[in-house]
Structure 1
Amino acid sequence: MDSENFSTLQAAADWRRQGHAVALVTVAETWGSSPRPVGAMLCLHEDGRVMGSVSGGCVEDDLIERLRRDGMPAALTTVTYGVTREEAARFGLPCGGTLRLIVEPLTDALWVHEVLDAIAGHQLVMRTIDLNTGAHTLAPARNNDLCGLESGWFRCLFGPRWRLLLIGAGQTSSIAAEIAKALDFHVIVCDPRDEFYRGWSVSSTDLLTIMPDDAVVHIEPDCRTAIVALTHDPKLDDMALLEALKSPAFYVGALGSRENQKNRRERLALFDLATCEINRLYGPVGLRIGSRTPAEIAVSIMAEIISVRNQVTTAVAIGASACIS
């Protein structure tokens, strides 16, 4: 779940606690180009205030106008925008895109609190809605579950924000952190070397100055965590990898040449790591784009992380899924 959806649910819970009428609007289906993905949410206050986004354009304005004209919806309904090219243009949808939205009154915010508690506990939750009756259920979810609409049912995945732990506070880490922030990752950097961490200046990131293995344990990696070792110091990088490769982190990578990676894997094999755990390592880290400068390396790293997260990567760690379900 991205931070915007988290803020949307938090606002919905707060407004309901204050006694206000609230409606939740969720992107259920898209055709063509769409500015927001399936599962994106908007919370609509009875006075017209909104939190979140389903289009980033005129769709929100139209939803507010509907509220002022018709009042809060009495029951779950669906609404479609952009059926015609003219309507798509009117609502600011690109290239004739179409959105189908679920609009539901939030009469009971209990499930919202349950979802927020699950997120705080780094758990994935699937909410399933019957579009005919408005009934819904919550159940544990897996990392490869997807939001979607099928046969009158809509399934929406909620979970903790994606996180990125960078080992090393050097220039490549600084640039990677800025890119990751733009991609809505919560960025954590670890470096116990004072000559590096004293110069760390990337805003809205968490800085840890403990040893890398302790940092990995400290953040409790989950299936929405990526960990990348970037110090060039085997003593620091390998410490982090020994813990990271045993964790549920969806991506673990390390900077270094192919020869360095071969030597690294031989070193890791001397410790209590299974072969399938060592083979989860992405190294040399990053997509092969001929990167040489710190900025190019940072771009290649973040591109590979996104491709792995989206399950479309062609750069595969050896036996990457052998130990992680």
Structure 2
Amino acid sequence: MPIAESGSPADLELLAQVRRWLAADERVALVTVLQTWGSSPRPPGAWLAIRRDGAMVGSVSGGCVEQALAERYRSGELGGPFPARVDFGVDWLEANRLGLPCGGRLALMVEALSAEAPIAALLKRLEAGELVARRLCLRTGEVSLLSGVGRPDFAVDAQAVTKVLGTAWHLLLIGDGQLARNLARMARLLDYRVTICDPRDLFADPAPLADVAYCRLMPDDAVRHLGASPRSAIVTLSHDPKQDDLALSEALTSPAFYIGALGSKATAAARRERLLSLGLEPEHLDRLDAPAGIPIGSKGPAEIALSIMAGITAARNGRVDGV
């Protein structure tokens, strides 16, 4: 099953548009992907909002499912007082007709939105930097806003559908340079906030990337203040053992979901011995992906960045060893 999608900038844009529609006394249906079978272009947790006249924002399939939903909503078939489940796609013929990949199938939840206040309350908490779980009761249609800390990004059971939003995924890179810039650009395309940390004066970037944060903290301080989160990935790239070891000694005992270090196998072995001598336990070192990334025969900085970003993506999606 594809990994659930939650908390992306696209979700925030959708919510902002929904709020504008509701403020103008428009009626809106919010459609959530509950589950997928076979090949499906949108993961569980993906959202689509449909205005009564058929205007849409978001996506649940990337194909004709959206059009079919809009037509059914305009006709009054969908959008009742209680959440309703809708299935699309069964065999390859219907999947092809609906714009799904061959054999794809979607289970969707449609809920009617009529009041601006609940969406405004959610946006207010997200804008304040909170991690928020939006829980939809399937029996009553009531929506509750809970803390998202410690919850899965998306969960469905017999009572409720819960989606976590806010506190975007974060990539902390220790060490600046061409590889860091390539990694930062790729990570931004995947909706990560990115921070590049390098306290060394000689490595100060004369042309910093506009959508990337830079810091001059010592690497261990940067990890403590910026990278200690279950939604953080930390990668050391500095080629300076003093810088990298400072960051890793802090990162390996943090809740970061991915920790990687650039370097060869020989470098990785020497690093392991140094970190053990600093008091880290073997189980801490087992968390370290070194050499960082999925082996794809990388040569230049762009290919190495691709390999590392693939490793981060595999870890975020719960894949072991990139498979």
89-98 or 176-185, which deviates more? 176-185
Alignment of 1:144-159 (within 5 A): 145=152, 147-151=154-158, 153-159=160-166
Q: Secondary structure at the match of 1:204?
A: coil
Residue in 2 that maps onto 1:3 = 9
Alpha-carbon distance in 1 for matches of 2:22, 2:240: 52
Which among 39, 44, 48 is matched to residue 50 of structure 2?
44
Q: Does 2:33 match 1:27?
A: yes
User: How far, CA to CA, are the matches of 2:216 and 2:30 in structure 1?
Assistant: 41
Distance 1:296 1:46 in 2: 47
Task: Name which of 60, 68, 80 aligns with 1:54.
Answer: 60
Alpha-carbon distance in structure 1 between the residues aligned to 2:126 and 2:229: 11
- On the 8 A contact 2:227/2:251 being kept in 1, the answer is no
Corresponding residue for 2:3?
Answer: none
Unpaired runs of at least 5, structure 2: 1-6
- Whether 1:90 aligns to 2:97 is yes
Q: Identify if the C-alpha distance between structure 1 residues 210 and 67 changes in structure 2 by more than 3 Å, giving closer, same or farther.
A: same
Alignment correspondent of 1:16? 22
Partner of 2:213: 206
Number of residues of Structure 1 aligned to a counterpart in Structure 2: 316
1:323 paired residue number: none
Deviation at 1:53, TM superposition (A): 1.4
CA apart distance, 1:166: 1.4
After superposition, the C-alpha distances for 1:187-235 in whole angstroms (9 at most, x for unaligned) are: 2222334544425554532233443334333425311110101110122
Identity rate, percent: 44
For residues 301 and 143 of structure 1, what CA distance do their matches in structure 2 show?
Answer: 26
- Aligned-residue CA RMSD (Å): 3.2
Is it true that 1:69 corresponds to 2:78 in the alignment?
Answer: no
- Residue number in structure 2 paired with 1:294: 301
> What residue is the counterpart of 1:227 in the other structure?
234
Higher alpha-carbon deviation: 214-223 or 99-108: 214-223
Q: TM-score, normalised by structure 1?
A: 0.81
Contact 1:252–1:280 (CA<8 Å) still a contact in 2? yes
TM-score calculated relative to the size of structure 2: 0.82
Aligned residue number for residue 262 of structure 1: 269
Runs of 4+ in 1 over 6 A off after TM superposition: none
CA contact (8 A) 2:33 2:47 kept: yes
Q: Which residue does 1:280 correspond to in 2?
A: 287
Say if 2:173 is the partner of 1:170. no
Change in 2 beyond 3 A, CA 1:288/1:155: same
> Alpha-carbon deviations, 1:40-62, whole Å to 9, x = none?
01222345433221122222233
Counterparts of 1:177-196 in structure 2 under 5 Å? 177-196=184-203
Quick one: distance in 2 between partners of 1:242 and 1:311? 24
Extract unaligned runs of 5+ from structure 1: 317-325
Distance in 2 between the 1:207 and 1:45 partners? 41
What's the counterpart of residue 303 of structure 1?
Answer: 310
Alpha-carbon distance in 2 for matches of 1:177, 1:187: 6
Bigger Cα displacement from structure 2, 36-45 vs 307-316:
307-316
User: What is the SS of the residue equivalent to 1:96?
Assistant: coil
